[in-house]
Amino acid sequence: MTTESSHHQALQAALDAFIQTPSMEEALKVLQAYPDLLTDQADILLASIITSARQQGHEITAQALDERRDFIRNVREDIEQKEKQVCH
């Protein structure tokens, strides 16, 4: 039985794994292993982490997380474009 809380915890754990990857190649592997990271819910969670980092004065961390967020968005866009091509 999956509750919303346990789903949130799993998403947080996957996001932590993604954030801690040393390279974009490793980050892509994490995205493939945890497709929930490509959801709007994950984007919102990452945005809140970025906001928190900025509020605490950790601008360099926030910028690095922004780059990771952009990477996720680019992967999402690529997937959406490929799905559109398959449908047409």
User: 4-52: per-residue pLDDT in tens?
Assistant: 789 889 999 999 999 999 999 999 999 999 999 999 999 999 999 999 9
**Cβ neighbour number for residue 31 with a 10 Å cutoff:** 21
User: 48-83: per-residue pLDDT in tens?
Assistant: 999 999 999 999 999 999 999 999 999 999 999 988
CB-CB contact of 69 with 47 (8 Å):
yes
Domain ranges of the chain: 4-87
